[in-house]
């Protein structure tokens, strides 16, 4: 594999995110690393070590372990979770903006009087 894959945006992910996104266990990932199926780079975040993996290799591993249907099901499940998280975040932001709008309208009405 070329070095440029490690530098491309979105081409890598942490082993923790690989578990979430592709429905793999840490054990499955560690075993695949030991078997030479996954390349990795060890990184640190806030002093804690993690493995950085190539997304295309993780996807191939998930397909190998869980089949095409299992991979597709996990992808849909992950995307739905991401969308729900974003929707909830936007709802909270909208509620906050609505409150701020009400306060500003009250101030505006007081200034008119």
Domain count, the chain: 1
pTM value is: 0.77
Burial 13-29 (b: 16+ CB within 10 A, else e): bebebbbebbbbeeebb
Q: What are the pLDDT digits (tens) for 24-63?
A: 999 999 999 999 999 999 999 999 999 999 999 999 999 9
Instruction: Determine the pLDDT at residue 113.
Output: 74
Question: Where residue 104 falls among pLDDT bands split at 50, 70, 90?
Answer: very high
Which CATH number goes with the domain that contains 53? 1.10.1660
Assigned token pair, 10: 């979105």
Side-chain half-sphere of 75: how many Cα atoms within 13 Å? 12
For residue 29, give its domain range. Answer: 4-112
Q: Where is 45: in which H helix or E strand?
A: strand 40-45
- Cα first-last separation, the chain: 71
């Amino acid at each position: 594999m070329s070095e440029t894959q490690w530098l491309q945006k979105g081409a890598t992910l942490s082993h923790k995110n690989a578990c979430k996104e592709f429905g793999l266990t840490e054990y499955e990932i560690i075993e695949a690393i030991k078997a030479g199926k996954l390349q990795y780079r060890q990184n640190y975040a806030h002093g804690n070590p993690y493995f950085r993996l190539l997304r295309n290799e993780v996807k191939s591993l998930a397909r190998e372990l869980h089949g095409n249907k299992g991979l597709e099901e996990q992808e849909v499940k992950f995307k739905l979770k991401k969308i729900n998280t974003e929707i909830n975040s936007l709802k909270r932001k909208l509620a906050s903006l609505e409150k701020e709008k009400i306060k500003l309208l009250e101030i505006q009405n007081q200034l008119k009087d």
